[in-house]
Amino acid sequence: MGSPNALGVTNEFDVAQVKKFAKQMRRDIVTMLAEAKSGHPGGSLSACDCVATLYKGGVLRHNPKEPNNPARDRFILSKGHAAPVLYAALAGEGYFPREWLMTLRKLDSHLQGHPDMRKCPGVEVSTGSLGQGLSIASGLALGLSIDAAHKGCEPQKVFVLMGDGELQEGMVWEAAMFAAHRNLKNLIAIVDNNNLQIDGHLTDVVSLGNIAQKFESFGWHAIEVKDGNSIPECYEALCAARDYAQGPCVVVLHTIKGKGVSFMEDQAGWHGKAPSIQELSVALADIDGLSEEAE
């Protein structure tokens, strides 16, 4: 991973650096949400380590200075309500000025409540209505792989991050069938399996059973990550998925919703609620206490 990627950007994997990046993302997430006074902390924090690993760990080939470079890998945030985690990563990488973060959800902001590709650089496609990202990613992966075959080169990778509750949308499984049928080798699905949705634990609302086995039965290769909030574990799995050459691959991350903020962890109530100013100071203190050491 040490060599310059197709975009001429070197992103060596340095656990401490990615952890530091994720820590700042967490600070940004809770701060921008407190400023916005609404939004979705829980699912942003559970996905934080994965998204940090993608953007800062060198998994995703991208260049903030050239957000539209055709050679880039694509990342689609299908669970669009977790927009703060994407905005935090994009700001951290320099896609736009950090000051934008404090405009989240406000009138005329580039940072809409859910990601808007027409307003924010680095957002590949507008999302927000759950279940649609995997289909879009399939079409994208298909088009890119056909183009790459014509050029005789390797296709760009398409990563798509879904929530576990999102998998209750039937369309996800339409896309899972199609991607396997077309054997889309450059497609990587990631499931943020924090086991919470708005109405409670998935196992109480509508159980999904074994997510990895479900995808496997659809013809996908599945990789499970025991601690989806561990950056080294995310890195290992995401690299393995990226390099898997036999067909579409899913990475199931077992995560904790609200990870990093004591009073938000595993609480359905923090799916879609912003912290108050008092709660923000507790949250920031919690985040400051997180380890930055390489494991």
Partner 1 sequence: MADAAPRATREAFGATLIELVKDGYPVVAVDADLAGSTTTKKLGDYDPERLFDAGIAEQDMIGIAAGLALTDRIAYTASFAVFGTGRCYDQIRNTVCYGNLNVKICPTHAGLSVGPDGGSHQMVEDIALMSVLPNMRVLVPADYESAAAAIRLAAQTPGPVYVRMGRAKVPQVYEPGFKMTPGGSRLLREGKDVTLVACGLMVNEALVAAQSLAEKGIEAEVIDAYSVKPLDEAAILASAKKTGFVITCEEHSVIGGLGSQVATLLAAKQPTRMKFIGVQDRFGTSGELKELLRRYDCDAEAIIAAAIEA
Positions that interact with partner 1 (CB under 8 A) = 74, 116-118, 124-129, 131-132, 134-144, 146-147, 170-171, 174-175, 177-178, 181-182
* Nearest approach, Cβ of residue 146 and partner 1 (Å): 6
* Nearest approach, Cβ of residue 206 and partner 1 (Å): 19
Residues 6 or more apart whose CB falls under 8 angstroms from that of 64 comprise 90, 93, 94, 95, 122
* Nearest approach, Cβ of residue 181 and partner 1 (Å): 8
Q: Tell me the C-alpha distance between 47 and 54, whole Å.
A: 11
The candidate with the shortest Cα–Cα distance to 137, out of 170, 165, 159, 121, is 159
* Nearest approach, Cβ of residue 142 and partner 1 (Å): 7
Nearer to partner 1, 178 or 244 (CB): 178
Q: Tell me the C-alpha distance between 78 and 68, whole Å.
A: 19
Residue 32 near residue 104, CB atoms below 8 Å: yes
DSSP letters, 192-232, are EE--EETTEEHHHHS----HHHHHHHTT-EEEEES-TT-HH
Nearer to partner 1, 177 or 198 (CB): 177
Residues 6 or more apart whose CB falls under 8 angstroms from that of 213 comprise 222
Nearer to partner 1, 80 or 84 (CB): 80
Residue 166 near residue 78, CB atoms below 8 Å: yes
Backbone angles phi, psi at 32, to 5 degrees: -65, -35
Q: Bridge partners of 162?
A: 191
Nearer to partner 1, 67 or 232 (CB): 67
* Nearest approach, Cβ of residue 227 and partner 1 (Å): 31
* Nearest approach, Cβ of residue 152 and partner 1 (Å): 15
* Nearest approach, Cβ of residue 178 and partner 1 (Å): 6
* Nearest approach, Cβ of residue 140 and partner 1 (Å): 4
Residue 30 near residue 260, CB atoms below 8 Å: no
Nearer to partner 1, 1 or 177 (CB): 177
Q: Bridge partners of 144?
A: none
Nearer to partner 1, 14 or 174 (CB): 174
Q: Work out the angle between the directed axes of helices 170-181 and 133-151 (0-180°, nearest 10).
A: 20
Nearer to partner 1, 9 or 171 (CB): 171
Q: Tell me the C-alpha distance between 220 and 16, whole Å.
A: 32
Nearer to partner 1, 181 or 226 (CB): 181
